[in-house]
């Protein structure tokens, strides 16, 4: 017979997050889906446990043009699960409906900061904000591995996913480049069907207009500065306090809109 004790009154412990458990379904999916491959790009040890950074590669059906290489990154900040969940879901959806990635080779890094994800912290377990340490000779293994991927990937475009708990709406960083703006604007418009846009004149300390910020922090994940031409490079932010499902849905709408718009952009520039 169960006897009620005061242990029943203890608060329920938060659900432990396990980075391996999160990505295991994708690894299994890759084993079944010929268009999807899963690879470990490197590992590191933290508190006597091995952590791995995973890369998922999705080969979309061929188009008339050369395949466009896009790198998509999430979970640089461990307490922002929306982008992570969105990429896990996206890859499952693409496996079912590969036509959505026609003409694209997608390289997806759903979880860039596995220790932060498990600890539910913005920083990694060394206490650092990884997204301030790119291209600065960082000794953080996650940054070094991702920099290597950014060099080797020679991407035509980069999309990085974040969430912001101080924002009540969606927004993004264009880094002052016209192409970024041309892609991010329709992406925000599409995702605005699910969540509101942040129309504040100041977001995250930066001047903003219609959810677009021109400037950016130093040391964020970006293409190597010597790469020519520079890829488009978008940072998309969801309001972290909004329902997770809505953030995921808004993120997927944004990514897919970018893919469509980039093809349109290329078609125009070839005809010009
Ligand atoms: Zn973030």
Here the CATH number for the domain that contains residue 242 is: 3.40.630.10
Number of Cα atoms under 13 Å in the Cβ half of residue 236: 35
User: Collapsing DSSP states into helix, strand and coil, what is residue 54?
Assistant: strand
User: 261 in a domain, yes or no?
Assistant: no
Q: In angstroms, what is the span from residue 163 Cα to ligand 1's centroid? A: 5
Model confidence over 174-202: pLDDT tens digits?
998 999 999 999 999 999 999 999 999 99
pLDDT digits (tens, 9 = 90+) for 69-93: 999 999 999 999 999 999 999 999 9
Instruction: Give residue-wise pLDDT tens across range 131-189.
Output: 999 999 999 999 999 999 999 999 999 999 999 999 999 999 999 899 999 999 999 99
- In this structure, is residue 196 part of a structural domain? yes
Which pLDDT belongs to residue 3? 47
**Secondary structure of residue 106 in the 3-state scheme:** strand
Task: Give the residues across from 58 on adjacent strands.
Answer: 36, 106
Q: How many domains does the chain have?
A: 1
CA of 39 to the centre of ligand 1 (A): 24
Contacts of residue 30, defined as CB under 8 A and 6 or more positions apart, other chains included, come to 36, 37, 38, 56
Q: Is residue 55 part of a domain?
A: no
Residue 119 lies in a domain: yes
How far does residue 161's CA lie from ligand 1's centre (Å)? 7
The predicted structure's pLDDT at residue 19: 93
User: From the CA of 164, how far away is ligand 1's center (Å)?
Assistant: 6
- When pLDDT is cut at 50, 70 and 90, the band that residue 269 belongs to is confident
Predicted local confidence at residue 2, as pLDDT:
47
pLDDT of 107 reads 98
Tell me the three state secondary structure of residue 93: helix
Q: Is residue 216 over pLDDT 70?
A: yes
Proportion of the chain above pLDDT 70, given as a percent: 94
- Taking CA atoms, 198 is separated from 83, 178, 186, 192, 203, in Å, by 18, 20, 15, 10, 8
Cβ–Cβ < 8 Å for 157, 232: yes
User: What is the distance in A from the centroid of ligand 1 to the CA of 248?
Assistant: 15
Q: Is residue 24 part of a domain?
A: yes
66 in a structural domain:
no
Q: Which 8-state DSSP code applies to residue 139? A: -
**pLDDT mean across residues, the chain:** 93
Confidence of residue 64 (pLDDT cuts 50, 70, 90): confident
186 belongs to a structural domain: yes
Query: Structure pTM?
Result: 0.93
Cα distance between residue 156 and residue 72, in whole Å: 11
Calculate how far, in angstroms, residue 35's C-alpha sits from the geometric centre of ligand 1. 29
Distance CA 110, CA 155 (A): 16
Mean pLDDT of 208-218: 92
Half-sphere exposure of 66 (CA within 13 A, CB side): 5
Q: Is residue 64 one of the residues assigned to a domain?
A: no
- Give the structural domain span for 197: 17-48+74-154+165-253
């Amino acid at each position: 017979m169960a006897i009620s004790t005061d242990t029943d009154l203890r608060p329920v412990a938060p659900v432990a997050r396990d980075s391996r458990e999160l990505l295991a379904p994708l690894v299994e999916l890759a084993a079944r889906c010929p268009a999807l491959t899963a690879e470990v790009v490197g590992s590191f040890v933290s508190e006597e446990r091995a952590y791995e950074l995973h890369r998922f590669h999705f080969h979309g059906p061929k188009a008339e043009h050369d395949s466009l290489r896009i790198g998509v990154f999430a979970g640089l900040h461990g307490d922002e699960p929306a982008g992570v969940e969105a990429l896990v879901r996206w890859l499952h959806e693409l496996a079912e409906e590969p036509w959505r990635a026609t003409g694209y080779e997608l390289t997806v890094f759903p979880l860039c900061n596995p220790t932060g994800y498990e600890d539910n912290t913005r920083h990694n377990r060394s206490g650092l904000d990884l997204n301030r340490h790119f291209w600065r000779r960082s000794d953080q293994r996650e940054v070094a591995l991702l920099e290597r991927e950014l060099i080797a990937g020679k991407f035509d475009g980069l999309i990085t996913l974040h969430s912001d708990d101080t924002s009540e709406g969606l927004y993004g960083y264009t880094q002052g480049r016209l192409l970024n703006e041309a892609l991010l604007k329709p992406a925000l418009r599409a995702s605005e069907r699910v969540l509101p846009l942040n129309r504040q004149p100041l977001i995250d300390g930066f001047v903003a207009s219609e959810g677009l910020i021109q400037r950016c922090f130093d040391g964020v994940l970006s293409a190597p500065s010597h790469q020519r031409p520079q890829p488009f490079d978008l940072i998309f932010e969801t309001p972290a306090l909004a329902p997770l499902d809505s953030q995921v849905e808004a993120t997927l709408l944004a990514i897919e809109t970018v893919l469509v718009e980039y093809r349109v952009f290329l078609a125009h520039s070839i005809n010009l």
